Amino acid sequence: MADAALEVQRLAFRYRQSSRPALREASFRVPRGALVLVAGASGSGKTTLLRILNGLIPHAYRGHLQGSLRILGRDPTGVPLAQRSQWVGTVLQDPERQIIGAYVRNDVAFGLENLAVPRAEMRRRVDAVLQALDIAHLRDRETYALSGGEKQKVAVAGTLVMEPEVLLLDEPLANLDPAGVDEALALVRRLVAAGKTVLLIEHRVEEVLRINPDLVLFLEDGAQRYFGPVEGFLQVAHPQEVKLPAGVAVRRLRALGLLGEPPPRRARQPEAEPLVALERVSFGYTEARPVLRGISAAIYPGDVIAVLGPNGAGKTTLVRHLIGLAKPWQGRVLVQGRDTRDASVAQMARTVGFVFQNPRHMLFAPTVWEEFAFGPRNLDFPEARVQANVERSLRIVDLEAYAQTSPLALSFGQQRRAAIGAVLSMEPSVLVLDEPTAGQDYRHYIAFMDAIVQMPFAAIVFITHDLDLAVRYANRVWLVHQGQIIADGPPEEVLTQDALLEKCHLRPTSLLRLNRRWLPRVGRFLTLEEWARRPDVSLADLEASLSVEPP
């Protein structure tokens, strides 16, 4: 039909190297100008559907494709990818895989150059899209020097400049702070208001619900479980597999009788000697742009520290100092009393294990098993201990089925788990995680975080933009702003200060709002499972946590 952007009938696909279908008979119709949230756990078929819609299947990925597809009323069979990209634009989950040009202006213009668009028209369209995304100031910047959030916007610009009518966004919120999420969601709404049809693949369901998607496509294990309005999706989505608003999640947990125990809470030991101490640490990558400014802090046994703050605040630079990947200009960092200037990164790795934000900066071995074994072997662990550690790590990060697979052949979310598993197998005393849950589905991130906090690490430090992660696991929060730790204390103290949260561009989630409302009566923050077990909290009370303001 002419008013349909997408018409899908009994669409199914099995990759050539696989014995089971990745997508099984999906059927739905998306009107023009609609916003569709595509939800589901890792491996549910979301990325495979995206590849069919944008033409990468069957052009780049081989296998058995069934069913029919019409895009904007046209049959795309046999249409070259260059032409298809003018109908359907795609922004990948990992923006680094999409950025080609050395400078922002060249990267955004790349697609137009391939279509031989006249230079004057090319400049007009590039300038217009940079202005629309509020990144005109990045026009002459080198792409390698951009932050993760800036790279994501440049990738969006390179797609929008092609002026497609249908946009496929794969995890666009994964690396953004709450302020960046608000900007991205507001942009999505503007695109839909301008007549674009947008399919938004996203694990951060609660945030997307704030902009009222028209429809939700929910996939489970390759099958279409639901397609329709948001209200119906909230009734079928499993609260332990999809991150739902707190009120909905608690109501569903009660209805399903899922009142299991929350993860055990760690006890801090600030009276012990610090494992890591930062003393008046200042640092910058250039003299003109200092990143850290006189930071003093310590990590003690029993600490589970959530490091929160806006993109560009210095969070990653701060944790890189913990393992000697960066050396302070001024001040010093002591790891178990040893100055990091006097030790190699390999020596520090015996005490502090660091998981990078981008897993591709870590993974290199021929198989996942070898990846997990590499670190402990370098630390001269006995082979029996190596074997046991690898098997335990594979179990924790749910990659046992992929032990003999190349880590670079995994999905981006699976690669994140592989990077975490490779560090877990080395048994560091202090585990440092940079955005461990970005791009992860709710079930997996809860499972491996629950496992991690129960493992015998002396302390855990994790950078996150997910306030719920801090509520659930942290016993201490560092708020980082402009290269300084401006707050350090229990979540119940730090996350109840509106002025600090606003300064750090942090937006309270429904779970945090619920906890803040009841803190005077309860005395501490509770997890969703703990709220579900409390008979004194009525469903009417929970409904209050659902009211959220659109970005």
Helix locations, 243-367, DSSP H = 246-256, 315-320, 345-348
Cα 131 to Cα 157: distance, rounded to the nearest angstrom: 10
Burial 229-266 (b: 16+ CB within 10 A, else e): eeeebbeebbbbbbbbbbbbbbbbbbeeeeeeebbeeb
- 221 by Cβ neighbours in 10 Å (0-12 / 13-18 / 19+) ranks as middle
pLDDT at residue number 544: 59
What are the structure tokens assigned to 296, written together? 């003093």
- Residue 202: name the closest of 245, 235, 169, 159 by CA: 169
Neighbours of 128 (CB within 10 A): 14
Domain boundaries, the chain: 4-237, 276-507
| 23-31/4-15 β-pairing | antiparallel
pLDDT at residue number 2: 54
Q: Right CATH number for 4-237 from 3.40.50.300, 3.20.20.30, 3.90.1010.10, 3.40.50.80? A: 3.40.50.300
Q: Classify domain 276-507 at the CATH class level.
A: alpha beta
Helix (H, G, I), strand (E, B) or coil at 523: coil
Ramachandran category for residue 167: left, alpha or beta (phi over 0 → left; psi -120 to 50 → alpha): beta
pLDDT at residue number 551: 40
Is the CB of residue 459 less than 8 Å from the CB of residue 304? Answer: yes
pLDDT at residue number 549: 44
Q: Mean pLDDT, consecutive 10-residue segments, the chain of 551 residues?
A: 85 89 94 95 89 92 94 91 88 81 93 89 92 87 80 86 90 79 85 92 91 95 95 92 89 86 78 94 87 96 95 90 92 94 86 85 92 93 96 92 91 82 92 84 84 87 92 95 96 96 91 92 91 80 54 40
Q: Could you give the angle at the alpha carbon of 143 between the alpha carbons of 319 and 148, nearest 5°?
A: 40
Cα 230 to Cα 523: distance, rounded to the nearest angstrom: 34
Is the CB of residue 29 less than 8 Å from the CB of residue 92? Answer: no
Say whether the peptide bond before residue 520 is cis (omega within 30 degrees of 0).
Answer: no
Q: Which amino acid is at 40?
A: G
pLDDT at residue number 196: 92
- The H or E element spanning position 299 is strand 289-299
Are domains 4-237 and 276-507 of this chain identical in fold?
yes
Cβ partners under 8 Å of residue 488, min gap 6? 297, 476, 477, 478, 479, 494
SS3 content of the chain, % helix, strand, coil (to 5): 40, 25, 35
pLDDT at residue number 412: 73
Cα 529 to Cα 75: distance, rounded to the nearest angstrom: 48
pLDDT at residue number 263: 72
